[in-house]
A and B are shown apart, each in its own frame.
Chain A
Amino acid sequence: MGDCMSADKRRDTVLRYNLKRLANFLGLFAKNSKGVVGLIIIAVFACIALFPPLFTPYDPVNQRTLAGDFAAPAWLQSVPSQLGGRPGISYNYNPTLNPDFENSTAPWNISSTDAAHSSIEPVENLGDHTGLVRVGLMHDKGVAYGNVTVSISQDFYYPYAGAPFRFLTRLVFILNGTVTTSSHPEQLVNKTPGAPIVWPAPWYNVTVSRLDVPTKISLYLDSIAVNRSLPMWPFRDQYLYTPQGMYGMAMDGTFVNASQTKVLIGSSETIANASTFGSWVDTDKSFQPIDSFGPVIANYVSSLYGSNKFATQVFFPQEATPGWYRLVLNVTFEDADSSKPVSSVVYVDTFNMRLMGTGWGIMGTDQEGRDLWSQLVYGARISLYVGVLSSILAVVLGLVVGLMAGYLGKVVDEFLMRVCDVLLVLPGLPLLIVLVAVLGTNVNNLIILLGLLGWMGFARLIRSQVISIRERPFVEAAKAVGAGKTHIMIRHILPNVMSLVYVTLATTVPGNIVAEASLGFLGFTDPNRMSWGLMLYNLQQFSAFQNWWWVIPPGLCIGAVAISFIMFGYALDEVLNPRLRLRR
């Protein structure tokens, strides 16, 4: 009973002593303004790293084309251009109202060149598609009405001073209920300098089982403010469906036979295998007013914000933005054959337009239209994760090696120090790159490698400390009592070097964070995990240096984290090593 009491009391005293020491330490630390500032910055970044969804709703890697590629920050629109702002940037914009024709065709203007013989009416549903417009031409044998064009159009106001980066239209329709789509590949057409601009034309190869008259589907984007006969390209893409197959109309006005376009879409098997009759044609395609083919990519980055050359010439002419535009869908029945009865119907389910802006969010977008701000936020996670864990690994390794080499001495010391020397002679960064390239660009690999290559200096430091500590009287005393080597190392020597451990831990982190960023910058990192180094790697790949909103923040973040860890470490050093405190 008495023993128990005394043990309790003893524990109590030890606890009180430790609490007092902790309070003393905290009091000293709180007086060190640099340390407090460093700690606050670290805390802010740790918070961001732990809960990125609180700071951004977007996925930094997988959410592509949120806006146009290389978009500028949205807020730059309201900054005057003398101060580096970009009043000419546009935002994402969905101009079409009621694109699904649900319940009514209200904002759409529907007209026909031959209203007497063609029919246009809203339809509630067709199969599982609801809200459609039915366009039809029906007559008996013996008459023909020539070309009958039904046009469905909507006017919209484009409010921005600059052209959009890209526009997308989606048209979902079905011809006569009996159409087969086979494939819809993306086809990029290379542009030679000086040649007329050729649209990247995806060919929707459609075989039609029963079509009474050739039917042409064409889309237009007209500028209302500017005379349509201006030598600018209206947005136009035409498909002609005939009983024999599909013909596409290229932008220069020449017809291309479906059999010729087979090469463009890939193998001919796709056509033979497609046997789903009556399927819907869904043209969710993107039109980019800029030729994005590989070699001219640097060119288009510079033209994007400089003169907006391609975008303004091809799409919205300068004098007309902002202004009124008209989105038009023309269905033309080429009714020339009077030898048989005709019943041609086109159901249109969805017709819309989306404009991708050249301005987005807090920090704009990268080369794939991904949100840069969310990349910055998620980058904090990787940086801190790698920096802190690899430092812990390195410090623990250095501590173990230093303790063993310093206390056990002799052969152990000799061996460990030679290992240390050899590792110090090997070139650090090249070796790291080689090993990462070999083992795979995995974050955990990186942590292990940074830890394994970073312990040598600390091990030497600990060793020299241990050598001086082991000659002190209290170690002598412990030995005399009969304490084992492990016990002495852990209970008597380790507590005396712990202050070095904390300080080194804090001052190793910045180096490892910068090393991680450097590897990321060289491209040796997991592309599915966005880090600050990878952000700068992407930037470098596309030489988008003029996008300062992309260049500056990642480096500042790396620097801020690194400096705050250094300040924190120095403050710890001053608090834990009283000799330093006196001197400074």
Chain B
Amino acid sequence: MLFVVMTINYALFFIMPGSPTTLFVNPLKGSAGGKEEFIKNLQARWGFDKPPLERFGIYVRNMLTWNLGISLVSNQPISSELLLRLWWTLELMGGSTILGILIGVTLGVLVAFKRGGKFDTGMVTFSLVTYSLPVFWMGMIFILLFTVNLHLLPSAAAYPYDWDLPGRMPVAYAVSGANGTQWNGNMIFSLNPQGTLQLLSGYISHLIMPLAVLTLFTYGGYLLLTRATMIEALTEDYIVTAKAKGVPERSVIFRHALKNASLPLITSAALAFGFMLSGAIITESVFSWPGMGTWIFAAIGNNDYGVLQAIFYIIGVLVIIANIIADVLYGIIDPRIKYG
């Protein structure tokens, strides 16, 4: 499976027209001879002059040994930039996925239990609306409301622009304080409460809007799914039996119905976590969030295939891992499911 994903990744970017060299060589300027030589040098440096099969071998070996190569554009190791980007995406996507699942499942259970009522109709309609509205538009409406009209929240980036973070894990700054200086190991002890407070408010004010938009976007799906599976489960005979036995209502809902209704939920949640790294291109570009999504977007614009290959590979690995975890969870929740 992994190998197939790698092959597709490789083939996809192998057949892609255009070359990253165009970023460095202006096709309209300079003499033809010098240009050709320059391109040739660049290609030799990046290994583009080797035969395709050999390149494929190198690629597979590098991916397996977690050597993601260097970004053709920034000339930095991809893995180091990946770590930076990963933090921001995890902060945004992880937060919104967890919030979305919590809110969606809770409301879904409530709604399924009171199905047919006004609350049910209202919630289902509302979540259908938020589910089908384009997420970038919701982001724009938030900006229109909270930034343009109310002047409450910043509309772009993940931290105040004057912090001038030189590109390290923000966790380090969370410990060291937001004075904008280069972080080093000693500063871990120079905690400044005021600075920390300022830092927290800086982060949170930037996080609220994208997080809210993404949560609003994701919770609807979980609500509808939970509602559907819960209604299915609540009509089963064993629920009637449990009720007849005099099992408390809460216990019926959570221990009998929800447990049985949770299998499709786990599948969908596992897939959501797998695609967490790629899912936020749109939200990230609305809010100029410095995460993986904007990185992918920039890499496409720059023909930076190395970055794209690495990201697609990592996403594939994560999705496979998430599916395996889902399978394991299946086995725990429903012991009847066995894998030979």
Contact = CB atoms under 8 A, between A and B. Distances in A.
B266 to A, nearest CB: 16
A521 interface: yes
Interface stretch (B81-89, B132-140, B187-195): B132-140
Interface residues of B, number: 46
A426 B277 CA distance: 12
A517 B155 CA distance: 21
Contact of A545 (B128, B147, B277, B316): B147
B204 interface: no
Interface string A558-582: 1100110010000000000000000
A438 B300 CA distance: 9
A551 interface: yes
A562 B131 CA distance: 10
Given A518-B136, A559-B132, A437 B144 contact: no
B230 to A, nearest CB: 12
Interface in A407-431: 418, 421-422, 424-431
Contacts of B300: 433-434, 437
B82 to A, nearest CB: 15
B205 interface: no
Contacts of B16: 434, 438
Nearest to A565: B132
A514 B129 CA distance: 13
Interface stretch (B51-59, B165-173, B307-315): B307-315
Nearest to A559: B133
Interface in A495-514: 510, 514
B278 A536 contact: no
A246 B16 CA distance: 54
A558 B1 contact: no
A510 B132 contact: yes
Contacts of B286: 540
B257 to A, nearest CB: 15
Interface stretch (B4-12, B27-35, B60-68, B178-186): B4-12
Contacts of B155: 545
Contact of B278 (A430, A514, A517, A559): A430
Contacts of A566: 128, 132
Nearest to B303: A437
Name the prevailing secondary structure of the B interface residues: helix
Contacts of B134: 514, 517-518, 521, 533, 555, 558-559
Interface residues of A, number: 38
B6 to A, nearest CB: 11
Interface in B1-59: 1, 4-5, 8, 12, 15-18
Given A430-B311, A540-B140, A551-B141, A522 B297 contact: yes
Contact of A425 (B1, B132, B133, B141): B1
B148 A562 contact: no
Given A422-B5, A545-B143, A562-B132, A522 B137 contact: no
Nearest to A34: B125
A430 B275 CA distance: 10
Contacts of A434: 12, 16, 300, 308
Nearest to A516: B134
B282 interface: yes
A31 to B, nearest CB: 17
Nearest to A434: B300
Given A425-B316, A429-B279, A563 B137 contact: no
Contacts of A437: 300
A548 B141 CA distance: 9
B231 interface: yes
B272 interface: no
Contacts of B241: none
A522 B281 contact: yes
B141 A558 contact: no
Nearest to B138: A555
A141 interface: no
A433 B297 contact: yes
Nearest to A422: B4
A472 interface: no
Contacts of B4: 418, 422
B320 interface: yes
A539 interface: yes
Given A421-B1, A433-B281, A521-B282, A558 B148 contact: no
A367 to B, nearest CB: 16
A546 interface: yes
B315 to A, nearest CB: 5
A546 B281 contact: no
B116 to A, nearest CB: 8
Contacts of B278: 427-430
B211 to A, nearest CB: 19
Contacts of B312: 426-427, 430-431
Interface in A230-288: none
A562 B5 contact: no
B63 to A, nearest CB: 15
Contacts of A554: 137
Contact of B285 (A418, A522, A551): A522
Contacts of B75: none
A558 B312 CA distance: 29
B292 to A, nearest CB: 9
A546 B143 CA distance: 9
B212 interface: no
A205 B278 CA distance: 56
A424 B277 CA distance: 15
Given A427-B275, A427-B312, A430-B312, A555 B140 contact: yes
B140 A545 contact: yes
B129 A559 contact: yes
A22 interface: no
Contact of B129 (A429, A438, A533, A563): A563
B175 interface: no
Which of A434, A540, A546, A548 is the most central at the interface, judged by chain B CB atoms within 10 Å of its CB? A434
A429 B279 CA distance: 7
A559 B135 CA distance: 10
B282 A518 contact: yes
Nearest to B300: A437
Contacts of B143: 545
Contacts of A551: 137, 140-141, 144
B235 A425 contact: no
Contacts of A558: 133-134, 137
The 3 A-B pairs of least Cβ separation, nearest first, read: A555-B137, A562-B132, A427-B278
Interface of A: 418, 421-422, 424-431, 433-434, 437-438, 510, 514, 517-518, 521-522, 533, 536, 539-540, 545-546, 548, 551-552, 554-555, 558-559, 562-563, 566, 583
Given A421-B1, A514-B134, A559-B132, 7 more contacts: A427-B315, A434-B16, A437-B300, A438-B17, A517-B134, A522-B281, A536-B140
24 contacts: A422-B1, A425-B320, A427-B277, A427-B312, A427-B315, A428-B275, A429-B278, A430-B312, A433-B300, A438-B16, A438-B18, A517-B134, A517-B136, A521-B136, A545-B144, A545-B155, A551-B140, A551-B141, A554-B137, A555-B137, A559-B129, A559-B133, A563-B128, A563-B132
